[in-house]
Amino acid sequence: MNAEAGAAASPERLARAYLLRAAEPPAPALVRFVAEHGPVDAAARVRRGDTPPPVTSETAARRELDLARRDLAAGAEQGARLVTPEDDDWPAWPLLTLDVASGRGVRGTAPPLALWVRGTASLDTAVEHAVAIVGARAATDYGEHTAAEFAHGLAESGAVVFSGAAYGIDGAAHRGALASRGTTVAVLGCGLDVGYPAGHVGLLNRVARQGAVVSEYPPGTPPARHRFLVRNRLIAALTAGTVVVEAGRRSGARNTATTAGALGKVVMAVPGPVGSALSVGCHELIRDARATLVASVPDVAESVGPLGNGLAARGGTVRRATDGLDPESLRVYEALDTRGARTPEVVATEAGVELSRVRAVLPALELDGLARRSDSGWCRTGEDGRAAAGPG
């Protein structure tokens, strides 16, 4: 998409690329500091150590390491882009739940300073109908089959399946979504270029082609257990709900579920045979009323609700307001913003659609209730009025 070689990058982008390396996420003090001073000023202060003690403590070990230009160049080379809060496709709404939880003092829920993204999907669109499917790495055939079936059905009904690209349930979920030609997003606990897990490099390439691979970790960051736990908050935050398919008594998937619950998201769990150690975690979540039992795709749709505008109750099929749009109209629609108005010229550039076509498509979108005209241009009304809705 954007050519983001270090040389061409805006000061904000360079600052955030630097800040992503300056502190190990989640870095609540640094995030607050950036919100207060803006990324450019914040980065300058961090660089010279001119920060309040909590920020200093988070950044002391790495503040002298400025690889921003190198990271942006490497990312561009690898087909990855840095999406920042200053960008139009920053998934601001869903990530707001992290701001809220972090502000309430829920540990480890500070939002990311920016996200590395590789793939064809636009993040802010992907999160509109997003469901996470997570679970054990050492899954059973039953678990993998169920994860793939659920992902296939959800993707087929228009949802975007988020997961963590791990072996077992995660991989099965991505594969199920890919098989239905749907969109799927993998959120990693390492750099996008690290190729982890090794056996899923091909899968991650397919995910990027049909969706996106996302990480807050700079290129080259190795995987680590704490990073997977930290990553889990992003999976929870970026989706309307999390489905746990197979989880042992102690499992990272349960951590995602717990975080999703703390963020006010819908937590769901798939039951299994009572003799299976891999279903113990799911059964405990359900038994303790920390998760809703889901035994089918319609169950998930019913539980997630808001996502399920069109997702009918049990047995139904999903419809989106944008379902009837031809690819060109969809691109124009996607190029609109929900918050501010844009001129047809800007939309044309953003969508990569000829200006004359944009001028023809916009009134059609308006008739469909998908776009609104104002004095300063056009904006997206959101399908089904989600534009004005709170975080999911």
- Summarize as ranges the residues that interact with a copy of itself (CB under 8 A): 23-24, 56-58, 60-62, 65, 107-108, 137, 142, 145-146, 189, 197, 223-229, 249-252, 270-275, 279-280, 283, 286-287, 292-296, 299, 317-318, 320, 327, 330-331, 334-335, 348-349, 351-355, 357-358, 390-392
User: What's the min distance (Å) between Cβ of 183 and a copy of itself?
Assistant: 24
Q: Give the dihedral of Cα atoms 114, 119, 121, 127; nearest 10 deg.
A: -40
Whichever of 263 and 353 has its CB closer to a copy of itself, that residue is 353
Whichever of 63 and 372 has its CB closer to a copy of itself, that residue is 63
Whichever of 164 and 211 has its CB closer to a copy of itself, that residue is 164
| Burial class (CB within 10 angstroms; exposed 0-12, middle 13-18, buried 19+) of 10 | middle
Q: How many CA atoms lie within 13 A of 328 on its CB side?
A: 12
User: What's the min distance (Å) between Cβ of 7 and a copy of itself?
Assistant: 27
Separation CA 353–CA 54 (nearest Å): 47
Whichever of 16 and 331 has its CB closer to a copy of itself, that residue is 331
The tokens describing 35, both together, are: 């919100």
Whichever of 117 and 134 has its CB closer to a copy of itself, that residue is 134
Q: Which helix (H) or strand (E) holds 372?
A: strand 371-374
User: What's the min distance (Å) between Cβ of 62 and a copy of itself?
Assistant: 6
Whichever of 126 and 362 has its CB closer to a copy of itself, that residue is 362
User: What's the min distance (Å) between Cβ of 331 and a copy of itself?
Assistant: 5
Q: Which helix (H) or strand (E) holds 293?
A: strand 292-293
Whichever of 75 and 281 has its CB closer to a copy of itself, that residue is 281
User: What's the min distance (Å) between Cβ of 152 and a copy of itself?
Assistant: 14
Separation CA 349–CA 188 (nearest Å): 31
Whichever of 122 and 303 has its CB closer to a copy of itself, that residue is 303
SS3 state at 357: helix
Q: How many CA atoms lie within 13 A of 34 on its CB side?
A: 30
The tokens describing 374, both together, are: 């104002």
User: What's the min distance (Å) between Cβ of 387 and a copy of itself?
Assistant: 11
> Shortest CA distance to 336 belongs to which of 303, 382, 270?
382
User: What's the min distance (Å) between Cβ of 201 and a copy of itself?
Assistant: 15
User: What's the min distance (Å) between Cβ of 1 and a copy of itself?
Assistant: 29
Separation CA 113–CA 33 (nearest Å): 11
- Cα dihedral 258, 237, 231, 154 sign: positive
> Shortest CA distance to 13 belongs to which of 25, 2, 26?
2
Residues 6+ apart with CB under 8 A from 124: 88, 89, 90, 91, 92
- Residue 118's DSSP bridge partners are 80, 213
